[in-house]
């Protein structure tokens, strides 16, 4: 398993960010798979911890997309789970997004530290997911549906941008083309569109006092099938205990999960 973060030296930032990051100690995140460089800035007694996300090219476009979605989603949710950006700098081929750290532990950290809290963690995550999925789709300007994502996935395959070495264990050794063919076998897809997070994983959800107080990595927020979020959360919980997956679906109100839709969304996620 990759290290979750590694201490590092400060990195160069645009002049507009220099004052905001001065005096911090730095650590490089080793968990995220977005392609962006993510650093945690910590150690100042007079200022809160920060996170800096930086990328170039297509990754810079995703960072800009995350900033826009962060502002929109923060205005929609009735819980303070999406703090506004501290600063955002965009140049023709690069972008930097600086955000305030939310005090809490990721859901992964809680489950890893205290497995006995699994049921309470699942219930908290589902409560938050239901709030997210209850946002009216008519209020959301972002399309994250599977047709749009299939278009993007095909472009990534053709460009050789898919990291085949990072596929889940059950698809170890597969090519991106084989994943694409498996996706096609599940089409046409029945969908139930809601406002989705897009990567509703344990590392992207922060808990404190038994409730979700933060969600991060918002570049994929948009209207999509609800199983986009359910499939990813179920996969993450299953890595700890399959009983947590069953509890998740019960708490969400689904008696019989649609395994075909779950498989489709996990296959599609491999290509990003």
For the chain, domain boundaries: 5-100, 105-270
What's the fold here for domain 105-270? Aminoglycoside 3'-phosphotransferase; Chain: A, domain 2 (3.90.1200)
Predicted confidence at residue 80, as pLDDT, reads: 60
pLDDT of residue 85: 84
From 199, 203, 229, 269, the catalytic residue: 199
Respond yes or no: is residue 29 known to be catalytic: no
CATH 3.30.200.20 fits 5-100, yes or no: yes
Q: How high is the pLDDT of residue 35?
A: 78
29 annotated ligand binder: no
pTM for the predicted model, two decimal places: 0.91
Low-confidence ranges of the chain (pLDDT < 50): 1-2
pLDDT tens digits, one per residue of 159-210 = 999 999 999 999 999 999 999 999 999 999 999 999 999 999 999 999 999 9
Determine if residue 168 is labeled as part of a ligand binding site.
no
Three-class secondary structure assignment of the chain: CCCCEEEECCCCCCHHHHHHHCCCEEEEECCCCCCCEEEEEECCCCCCCEEEEEEECHHHHHHHHHHHHHHHHHHHCCCCCCCCEEEEEEECCEEEEEEECCCCEEHHHHHHHCHHHHHHHHHHHHHHHHHHHCCCHHHCCCECCHHHHHHHHHHHHHHCCCCHHHCCHHHCCCCHHHHHHHHHCCCCCCCCEEEECCCCCHHHEEEECCEEEEECCCCCCEEEECHHHHHHHHHHHHCCCHHHHHHHHHHHCCCCCCHHHHHHHHHHHHCC
Confidence (pLDDT) at 78: 62
Q: What's residue 210's pLDDT?
A: 95
pLDDT for 261 equals 97
């Amino acid at each position: 398993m990759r290290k979750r973060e590694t201490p590092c030296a400060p990195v160069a930032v645009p002049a507009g960010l220099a004052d905001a990051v001065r005096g911090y100690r730095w650590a490089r995140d080793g968990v995220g798979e977005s392609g962006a460089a993510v650093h945690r800035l910590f150690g100042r007694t007079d200022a809160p911890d920060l996170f800096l996300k930086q990328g170039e090219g297509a990754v810079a476009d995703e960072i800009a997309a995350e900033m826009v979605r962060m502002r929109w989603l923060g205005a929609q949710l009735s819980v303070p789970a999406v703090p506004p950006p501290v600063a955002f700098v965009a140049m023709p081929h690069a972008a930097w997004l600086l955000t305030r750290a939310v005090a809490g532990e990721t859901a992964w950290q809680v489950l890893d530290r205290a497995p006995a809290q699994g049921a309470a963690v699942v219930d908290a995550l589902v409560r938050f997911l239901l709030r997210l999925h209850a946002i009216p789709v008519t209020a959301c300007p972002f399309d994250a549906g599977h047709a749009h994502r299939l278009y993007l996935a095909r472009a990534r395959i053709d460009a050789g941008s898919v990291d085949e070495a990072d596929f889940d264990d059950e698809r170890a050794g597969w090519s991106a083309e084989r994943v694409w063919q498996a996706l096609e076998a599940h089409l046409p897809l029945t969908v139930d569109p809601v406002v989705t997070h897009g990567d509703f994983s344990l590392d992207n959800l922060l808990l404190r006092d038994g409730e979700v107080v933060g969600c991060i990595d918002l570049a994929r927020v948009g209207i999509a099938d609800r199983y986009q979020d359910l499939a990813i959360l179920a996969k993450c919980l299953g890595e700890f205990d399959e009983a947590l997956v069953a509890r998740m679906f019960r708490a969400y109100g689904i008696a019989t999960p649609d395994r075909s839709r779950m498989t489709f969304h996990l296959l599609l996620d491999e290509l990003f």
